[in-house]
Structure 1
Amino acid sequence: MSEKYVLQMNNIEKEYFGNQVLKGVSLSVKPGEIHALLGENGAGKSTLMNVLFGMPVIHSTGGFSGEVIIEGEKVDIKSPKEAMEIGIGMVHQEFMLVPGFSLTENIKLNREITKDNPISRLFGDSLKFLDYKKMNKDARKALDTLGINIEEWVKVAGLPVGYMQFIEIAREIDKSNVRLLVFDEPTAVLTESEADNLIRSMKKLAASGIAILFITHRLDEVMEAADKITILRDGELVATRKKEETNVGELAELMVGRKIEVTQKDESNKEELENREVILSIKDLRVDMPGEEVKGIDLEVRKGEILGIGGLAGQGKIGIANGIMGLYESTGEVLLRGEKLKLNDTKEALKSGLAFVSEDRRGIGLLLDSSIEHNIVVTTMQIKDKFLKKFVFFDQIDTKATRVHALKMIENLDIRCTGPTQLTRRLSGGNQQKVCIARALTLEPNVLFVSEPTRGIDIGAKKLVLDLLVKLNKELGMTIVMTSSELAELRSICDRIAIISEGKIEGILSPSASDRDFGLMMAGEYRKLHSKEAL
């Protein structure tokens, strides 16, 4: 008797204008199975999912060859609407939420529950009222499945990106006919604790019989969640493995075709670093950032160091850089080279010698429909009046200076692109991140804040971005403050790591400190335990 599959994709091939992007890829997923799909950016994962969902880009460019089978029946899915009608759901990496709507309204969008009223009984169903009581109940059930304790009536606008991702997922699991769920980089915007929560939720969904396709770059999550793993590279199926047959090292090599080794931080200059001047002094900083509130921290950053800021979800680590850069209401005192920084004023922060690479590169960090060269120089044009030709009544962009500088940045940062005029939307996640860094570097800052620099990019691009930060620090002596949910990455390149718990600094550790100390600090138990030991 043949095995039962929810999804079978057999020998899928696809080309765009003579460029073959899928080369005979096959994939099968059973009911209740979590099947991970791995591959670097450009490996073919997105195109394969576009085929599954019947995206217009597939059919408008000549279609594809091969077959898609849902629960034993061959299907010809012509649109995402058809995919949803047969029970395929997708949680997208890029949010599709209405900011002014509540959680309930986003979760129930296009599936609203209505109730009769005297007017609708006379004039028809179009005048029925929304049944918020029932919709809130459904929304609450979906949110509880994901362990989200935000009230369902709260508006989406202003919520941290991590919470928005959970709302996207809640919307999909609220649907009654779902038999296959595709998670496209669901943890890319989540911290470690949020990701753990999501994985528990995925396992619960799988236990109910729903098949899950899990597209991710985080290999430890694959080993934690997946039953089976398929790896693509350059449009080809490299391997399919059961979880127990592989390990993180092998998966990394299969994905990129080479061993990945993140640059390890040299701690030989530790004593010399401790004697350096304090370039940035933070005193009693408080930041009112929803979900990442900072509740009074004191911190000193030394010239020429890479200072890491880590911590669990919602503990305040993201709020520090966002507050100092004036993106959220802040109080306290920040001194840059002894000069008091004006808070709540982004322009002043940039003029003072700070630069910021946001954790939300697509929402805040980039002008997606502008060219690479325009993205690189736009902030410096506004803040320092550079890359401009001055006329009596107006200014005009200096296209020659812009092009020369952009080409230099593209070369120095190894931005993989067709040229400086390419739209940033068309770049891979890793190269988009490099454009964000190039824009910050163009300001020639004294201190560079980098928040979640490897979020949502593949393992090969992660190494390139981290190595770039180390290079900037070593060769240019740049002071870098790096906020990350990836503790292993912080430990690989930082000189010191400050762990944030409940909006305050739990402690500062050397990257070589024990896993136990890092774990205690992340859990907010380090100071409690050591105060007891002192007694």
Structure 2
Amino acid sequence: MLEMKGIRKAFGPVKVLHGVDLEVRAGEVHALLGENGAGKSTMMKILCGIVHADEGTIVIDGNERSFEHYDEAIQAGVGIVFQEFSLIPYLTAVENIFLAREIKTGGFLARKAMRKRAREVLDKLGVDVPLNVPVADLSVAEQQFVEIAKALSLDARILVLDEPTATLTPSETEHLFKVMRDLRSQGVAIVFISHHLEEIYEIGDRITVLRDGEYVGTRDVGSISTDELVEMMVGRRIENNFPPKPPAAPNAEVVIDAAQIQLRKNGPVSTFQLRRGEILGFAGLVGSGRTETALSILGAYPAASVKVEINGTPGAPANPSEALARGIGLLPESRKDQGLITSFSIMQNVSINNYGKYRTLKFFLDLSEERKHTTKVIKDVQVKAPGPDVPVDTLSGGNQQKVVIARWLNHHTPILIFDEPTRGIDVGAKSEIYHLMRQLTEEGYSIIMISSELPEVMGLSDRVCVFRSGAIVATIEGDEITSEDIMKHATTGKLRYVA
């Protein structure tokens, strides 16, 4: 159904695609894999007319096509779910799904018809998303389903799904896979991009791998092992994805002592401690209160009650600025929306919390001092970029995460909260982030890691706090951590209340 031949693309002096080929058959799920920066998303944007190739051809059903913009691709039966949401936050789910394709009767919007069609598509996905509230008020997972529904409503014959499961729970992912199987049986050609290799083996038929903008190969899913696939993607074997854990240190200094965190009035209560030099995992289902609990310590979430000591000083920070002054840094769940100013350079993002110490006079910055400090910390965390003046939005996801980490190291925040630190990051970059986190704890940093990936929680955490219904229901020690225990506590753990 689809052939892309000899696709080349450069942005200025940076060559992104070097004559890449892709062939997708009708009625198959074709996985497109590669590390961040391999060119996968650019390839798909070229298919959809969002980016124009410098060279190469696109053939659909035997006919060569060239799309000037996305509307032309839609008319040709091509739909895409973008890795970065393309929703307008102050419009409702219905308005986003039918944006620029509104159903009209006699020149007026047919709101009931659009609402009915939107509900049908979301029912097909097996989810109940509020239709009449701004999508800004929806959870990240609900926004993801609106994005998917938007593409499904096109009745596309070629459907591109770029990291569609990044924010979904296992049960929500299974709903999506059921829809993908139904579409496959109807002859739809699906291009599926994911960094979760287990998903590729569950839903994929064939795999095409890109590396550094070049075509590496295409294989049937059943003919290649995980190790072989990783080696195709990164050009080397990754023997130890998770660094070894240090011996347990129960007598280590307590840097956060949370005696009571109650997210809502009359709700359940959490209690935990974070020790110096450890990675404390926060696990649980989406919506279980993991992120809210961490943000309440920063003064960024209005919890009903927060009784906490930080480095022996009682009282929670009133706001994130005070938390920063007390040595706490946050790598947020959405790095592009909340963690970075993407139009700024690497150096500007790293030093933005530290301009006070670079002043030469009252209103001037010592740029050489700024460059010296930021260049060192960028090198320490191994950001891969031509130099510190490169805009952050040109970096891969893994390198963007490293820039956020570099900012907090530059600010000397010994307590770090990492919320979904490897979301949307390829397997090679994940390993680098894991080793960097362990290196930081060896240097005396303390990390709270919030993650929806159970292998990540088990492989990296020294201890794990399991959440259910807004509170911690169990804390599991390192060698005792199993996925079965985490899920048991996450679904049936006993909540604790105080008078």
Q: TM-score, normalised by structure 2?
A: 0.92
Q: Which digits, 9 at most, give the CA deviation of each residue in 1:102-134, with x for residues without a partner?
A: 111111111222344xxxxxxxx3xx2x32222
Does residue 318 (structure 1) correspond to residue 264 (structure 2)? The answer is: no
What are the residue-to-residue correspondences of 1:24-423 with 2, within 5 Å?
A: 24-58=19-53, 63-65=54-56, 67-116=57-106, 125=107, 128=108, 130-176=109-155, 178-262=156-240, 264=242, 266-267=244-245, 269-270=247-248, 273-287=249-263, 295-332=268-305, 333-381=307-355, 385-391=356-362, 395-423=363-391
* CA deviation vs aligned residue, 1:211-261 (integer Å, no higher than 9, x gap): 210011111111111111111112322221212112222211110011123
User: Contact 1:312 / 1:485 at 8 angstroms: preserved in 2?
Assistant: yes
Distance of 2:33 and 2:6 partners within structure 1: 18
Instruction: Give me the whole-angstrom Cα distance separating, in 1, the residues matched to 2:268 and 2:134.
Output: 24
Separation in 2, partners of 1:169, 1:27: 23
Q: State the match for 2:472 in structure 1.
A: 505
Q: 1:432 aligns with which of 382, 400, 411?
A: 400
AA aligned opposite 2:359: L
Change (3 A) 1:15 1:276: closer
- Quote the offset at 1:466 in angstroms: 1.0
Of structures 1 and 2, the larger Rg is shown by: 1
Asked if the contact 1:448–1:481 (Cα under 8 Å) also holds between the matched residues in 2, the reply is yes
Amino acid at match of 2:103: I
CA apart distance, 1:264: 3.9
Q: CA deviation at 1:517?
A: 1.7
* Distance change in 2, residues 1:264/1:17 (3 Å): closer
2:467 maps to amino acid: I
SS in 2 for 1:379: coil
CA 418–389 in structure 1, closer or farther in 2 if over 3 Å, else same: same
1:73 aligned partner, one-letter code: N
The answer (yes or no) to whether the contact 2:48–2:79 under 8 Å persists in 1 is no
Query: Cα–Cα, structure 1 residues 96 and 515, in superposed 2: closer, same or farther, change >3 Å?
Result: closer
| C-alpha spacing 1:54/1:105, structure 2 compared with 1 (3 Å) | closer
Q: Distance in 2 between matches of 1:360 and 1:286?
A: 24
Provide the aligned C-alpha RMSD in A. 2.2
- Cα distance in structure 2, aligned partners of 1:518 and 1:50: 39
Q: Which amino acid aligns with 2:281?
A: G
Distance 2:403 2:31 in 1: 29
Greater shift after overlay, 465-474 or 253-262?
Answer: 253-262
| Alignment CA distance shift 1:241-1:355 (3 Å) | same
Q: Partner letter of residue 376 of structure 2?
A: K
Q: Which deviates the most, 415-424 or 337-346?
A: 337-346
- Mapped to 1, the partners of 2:168 and 2:7 lie a distance apart of 32
- Residue in 2 aligned with 1:469? 437
1:388-411 deviations in Å (ceiling 9; x for gaps): 2342xxx33331221011110111
Q: Summarize the Cα distance change of 1:286–1:148 in structure 2 as closer, same or farther, 3 Å threshold.
A: farther
> CA–CA distance in 1 between the matches of 2:193 and 2:145?
16
Distance 2:469 2:227 in 1: 34
1:265 and 1:494 in contact (8 A); partners too: no
Structure 1 position 362, deviation (Å): 0.1
1:485-496 maps to which residues of 2 (within 5 A)?
485-496=452-463
**Corresponding residue for residue 9 of structure 1:** 4
Structure 2: gaps spanning 5 or more residues: none
Q: Aligned-pair distance for 1:464? A: 0.8
Aligned-partner Cα distance in 2 for 1:461–1:439: 18
Q: Does the residue aligned with 1:274 lie in a helix, a strand or coil?
A: coil
Pairwise CA distance, 1:19: 6.0
- Residue pair 1:329, 1:344 contacting (<8 A) in 2 also: no
Cα distance between partner residues in 2 of 1:70 and 1:331: 57
Q: Structure 1 residues 158, 449: CA separation in 2 closer, same or farther (over 3 Å shift)?
A: same
> Distance in 1 between the 2:400 and 2:240 partners?
20
What letter is aligned with 1:442? Answer: N
- CA-to-aligned-CA distance 1:430-480 (integer Å, 9 cap, x gap): 111000001122221231111111111111111111111111111x11111
Give, in whole Å, the separation in 1 of the partners of 2:373 and 2:197. Answer: 37
Normalised by the length of structure 1, the TM-score is 0.86
Say whether the 8 Å CA contact 2:42–2:51 is kept in structure 1. Answer: no
Give distance in 2, aligned partners of 1:260 and 1:195: 27
Deviations 1:367-390, CA, capped at 9 Å, x for gaps: 111111111111233xxx322234
The answer to whether the Cα contact below 8 Å between 1:263 and 1:493 also exists between their aligned partners in 2 is no
SS in structure 2 of the partner of residue 153 of structure 1: coil
Kept after mapping to 1: 8 A contact 2:310/2:316: no
Q: 1:455 aligns with which of 413, 416, 423?
A: 423
CA positional deviation for 1:320 = 2.2
Contact 2:92-2:132 within 8 A present in 1 as well: yes
Q: Among the aligned pairs, what percent are the same residue? A: 38
CA contact (8 A) 2:165 2:173 kept: yes
State whether structure 2 residue 492 is matched by structure 1 residue 525: yes
Give the distance between the partners of 1:261 and 1:489, measured in 2 at CA: 16
CA distance in structure 2 between the aligned counterparts of 1:373 and 1:21, rounded to whole angstroms? 23
Deviation at 1:20, TM superposition (A): 5.1
Structure 1 residue ranges without an equivalent (≥5): 1-5, 117-124, 289-293, 529-535
Q: Separation in 2 of the partners of 1:210 and 1:323?
A: 45
**Whole-angstrom distance in 1 between the partners of 2:335 and 2:478:** 27
Equivalent residues of 1:262, 1:492 under 8 A apart: no
- The letter for the 2-side match of 1:350 is L
Q: 1:329 to 1:527 in 2, by over 3 A?
A: closer
